[in-house]
Amino acid sequence: MIVKRQFHGYNECMTALSLRERYEQLKQEIHFHNYRYHVLDAPLISDAEFDRLVAELKRIEAEHPDWVTPDSPSQRAGAAPSEKFEKVRHPRPILSLANAFGAEEARAWFERIRKLDERVERAAFVVEPKIDGLSVVLHYRDGLFVQGATRGDGEIGEDITANLRTVRAIPLRIPLAGMDRGPWTVDRDAQEALTSNHASQPSLFDDLRPPSAVPRPPSSLFVRGEVFITLKDFEALNRRLQEAGEKTYLNPRNTAAGSLRQLDPAITASRPLTLLVYQVVYAEGGEVPATQWELLAWLRGLGFPVTDVARRFESLEEALAHVQTWEHRRDELGYEADGMVIKLDDLRLAEGLGYVGKDPRGAIAFKFPAREVTTKLLAIEVEVGRTGVLTPRAVLEPVEIGGVIVRNATLHNFDYIAEKDIRVGDRVLVKRAGEVIPYVIGPVSEARSGAEQPYRPPETCPACGGAVEHFEGEVAWYCVNAACPAQLVRNVEHFVSKGAMDIGGLGPKIVEKLIQAGLVRDVADLYFLRREDILAAVTKKERKTEKEPPGKIADNLLAAIAESKKQPLARLVAALGIRGVGEVVARDLAQAFGSLDALAAASAEQLQTVEGIGPNIAAAIVDWFGREQNRKVLEKLKAAGVWPQSSTVHGPSSTGALAGLTFVVTGTLAGFTREGVKEFIEAHGGKVSDSVSRNTDYLVLGEAPGSKLQKAQALGVKIIEEEELRKMCS
C-alpha cells in the first residue's frame, strides 16, 4: 500500500503505513492544521481538505474505539451534558490587577514599587493588551490537557474542562506535534503578515529560536489565559441569529461568559470562542522562564496562542508612550480590550513585591476611557432584512464615542425594547466596541421628563404595508410578503454576494433601480435581463471612473451573470436565502442531496439526517420549497439553465452493514457518546434521525430513555440495545 503523506505542506510517499500509524499521523496532522487555522490564522490547506482528514480519522476511530485517546481531535466535542460544574481549587490564588487611569497614576505606581525594591529603578516592562474576556486556568499533566477551570473567587473556580476542550485554540497536548517543523520554519510569511501591522517595536516573533529549542513542558503546568470572542466572529454570529429569527447577543463578553457556563458542551462548541494565554500560575517538574517576555515566547513555542502585539521596553516612560498609542488604535486589535497591562518583565522581582488584596504589585492595568456615552433616542426605525425579519434600530442625537460620530445603534429586537422599557425621547446609554455596530445598553430612567413615549412594534411591514407574523419559538417578527420590495433588495444582494452566486458589479443602486422598474421581481429575473435594461439602470455612482462607459459596465455585468450559472450547487443553495441555511449548511445539503430536485423533495425527517440540521432548519427548508412563489423562482432558474448538480453526493453510504436503515437513539448509552453512536451508525452506512416515525427501522435504547420509546412502541418500531447494534456490524 502506498499512502501519500501530506504534512506541513510537504508531500512525500511512505510505504506500508499500518492503520495504527496512519491514525497517529492523522491526529498530529489535524492538530497541526487546527493550530495553523485557529492560532496562527494562517491555514496551509483548504477547509475541504481539513474535513477529509477529520472524516478519515473518525472512520478509523469508529472501527477502533479503543484507540481513541483524550487528546484526539475528535474528543473536542461530544462529551455528555453535565448536571452541574464541580468545584476546583486553584494551585495558587488567581490574582486580579489594580487599575491606573492615565499616565500619572501609572507613574505613582512605579514610585510606590521603586521604594519597595530599588531594582525597579532599572527594570524593564512588558506591555500586553488587557483582553475583556473570561479568565481561565488550564492544567496540563505530562503535556496532556487534563482540566480547565474558571477563575471563580480566585481560590476556587468551576471545572469547565468539557467546555474548554471545544475551544480550538486550546492545545489538547503540548508541545504541539510539528512545532519544530511548523511555524518556526515554513512560516516566515505569516509571521511577517502578523507583525508588520505593529512594526514599530520588536515583536515576540523576532525572538524565534531554532527548532531544537522547542521546550519540554514541566510535568504539571497551570497556564492562565483569557477566553473571548473576536468582534468579527461576534458580528457574524449575531447576523446568523438575526436571519434565523433568534435572539441576538448583547456583547462579546457576555456571550463568551454564557457560552463557557453551558452544561451542554455541544452548545459551547457552536460558539466562536478563542483564547490568548499570558501567565503561568504554577509549575512542577520542569523549568519556566524567569521573565514575562521569555515566558510569552516559551508559551508560544509550546503551541499556546499568545498575543502578537506584546512589546518589551527598557523604561516605564517608553512603555507609557506605547500604551498611549494604543488608546487610538484599539480597534485594530479585533477584540474588546479595556486597556493595556504593564508588567515588570522580571517575574521574580514582581513576585517579591507581593500583592495588595487581590492585586499583584508587579503589574498594573492602564485603562482606556470607557466607550459608553449617553445621548437622546430620537426615534426607532424598523428595517426589513433579507429573510423578512423586522429589526428595530435606534436613531440617536449624534454623539462622539471614542473618536467616531455615532448616529444609529442596534436595539437587538422588540422584546429587548420592552424588557428594558426603552422609550422614544429617552436618554439612553450607548456602547461602541471596535467596528461592531454600537448598541443601546438601556435608558437612563432618572433623566425622564414624562414626555417620553413607550414604543409599540409595528403591526404591518414598514416597507410594504403587508402583514407581519411571529413564529413559534423565535423572538423575531417577520414580514411574510414575498414581494416586499425591501426584502427583495436584500434578497438580490444576498443572491449575488461573494459566498453565494458571486456576481460582481451588481451594486445596491442598480438592484434598486431594476426592482423599481419592475424588471427584477425575483432573483431568477437576473438571468433574463437584457443589455438595455442594465444600461437604463446604471447611474453615475456605478461608474468607478468617469471614463468607464455604461456599455462596458452592462457587458461586464451580463458576463458575470452568465458566468454565475457555473457556480456549484452549494452556492446556489446558499444563495436562495433560506432561513438558517448559510454557506456551511448549504454545502452539507448539496453533498447529501446532489440536486435541487432532490432537496426540494426531501421531508423534514430526511433533512434532519444531515449533520447539523435540526428541526428548525429542516422546517424552514420544507417551508421554503413548499411556497408557490419560490417554486416559480426555481422553475425560472431551471429555464435559465441555472441548475447545477453536485457530483459528490456523500449522503448516507450505500454500502456497510447498516445501509438503508434508519436509527433513532434514546437515553444514555454506556459505550458511546451521542455523537459517537451517530458516527458509528453512519460509518456503517446507516442513517440517524432525531425523531421516531414510520420510517424508523430501529430504536437504540439506552439508560433513562425519553418519550421516543413510547412512540416507537406505538408505531411498532423494532427496539434494540447497544449490544445488538454492535453485533449487527461485526
Footprint of ligand IVH (CB under 6 A): 95-97, 128, 130-131, 135, 226, 278-279, 341, 360, 363, 365
Shortest reach from residue 97's CB to ligand IVH, in Å: 4
Between residues 226 and 605, which has the closer beta carbon with respect to ligand IVH? 226
**DSSP 3-state assignment of 592?**
helix
Shortest reach from residue 36's CB to ligand IVH, in Å: 24
Distant-in-sequence, close-in-space partners of 179: CB < 8 Å, separation ≥ 6: 214, 301, 302, 303
Cell numbers 435504547 correspond to 701
Measuring CA to CA, which residue among 529, 514, 513, 516 is closest to residue 564?
A: 529
β partners of residue 364: 98, 342
Cell numbers 450547487 correspond to 569
Shortest reach from residue 171's CB to ligand IVH, in Å: 19
Backbone angles phi, psi at 149, to 5 degrees: -135, 155
Q: Is 727 a catalytic residue?
A: no
User: CA 248, CA 679: separation in Å to the nearest integer?
Assistant: 31
Ranked by CB distance to ligand IVH, the top (closest) residue is 135
Cβ neighbours around 606 below 10 Å, total: 22
- Cβ pair 288, 281 in contact under 8 A: no
**Per-position b or e across 105-142, b if 16+ CB within 10 A of its CB:** ebeebbeebeeebeebeebbbbbbbbbbbbbbbbbbee
Strand pairing category for 337-344 and 427-431: unpaired
Shortest reach from residue 304's CB to ligand IVH, in Å: 13
User: CA 366, CA 330: separation in Å to the nearest integer?
Assistant: 13
- Cβ pair 572, 596 in contact under 8 A: yes
Between residues 131 and 223, which has the closer beta carbon with respect to ligand IVH? 131
**DSSP 3-state assignment of 5?**
strand
Between residues 359 and 493, which has the closer beta carbon with respect to ligand IVH? 359
Between residues 135 and 248, which has the closer beta carbon with respect to ligand IVH? 135
- Cβ pair 146, 164 in contact under 8 A: no
The three three-digit cell numbers of residue 567, written as one number: 457556480
- Cβ pair 154, 94 in contact under 8 A: yes
Backbone angles phi, psi at 328, to 5 degrees: -90, -15
User: CA 701, CA 699: separation in Å to the nearest integer?
Assistant: 6
Amino acid at 698: Y
Strand pairing category for 87-89 and 220-228: unpaired
Shortest reach from residue 649's CB to ligand IVH, in Å: 48
Between residues 275 and 553, which has the closer beta carbon with respect to ligand IVH? 275
Strand pairing category for 156-158 and 144-150: unpaired
Between residues 130 and 300, which has the closer beta carbon with respect to ligand IVH? 130
Distant-in-sequence, close-in-space partners of 90: CB < 8 Å, separation ≥ 6: 137, 149, 152, 154, 155, 156, 157, 222, 281
Shortest reach from residue 228's CB to ligand IVH, in Å: 9
Between residues 207 and 555, which has the closer beta carbon with respect to ligand IVH? 207
Strand pairing category for 144-150 and 698-701: unpaired
Treating both helix axes as pointing N-terminal to C-terminal, what angle do 19-38 and 47-63 enclose, rounded to 10 degrees?
Answer: 140
Omega prior to 175 cis, within 30 of 0: yes
Between residues 142 and 332, which has the closer beta carbon with respect to ligand IVH? 332
Catalytic residue among 27, 130, 513, 687: 130
Length of the chain: 730
Between residues 61 and 226, which has the closer beta carbon with respect to ligand IVH? 226
- Cβ pair 414, 477 in contact under 8 A: yes
Which residues belong to the active site? Answer: 130
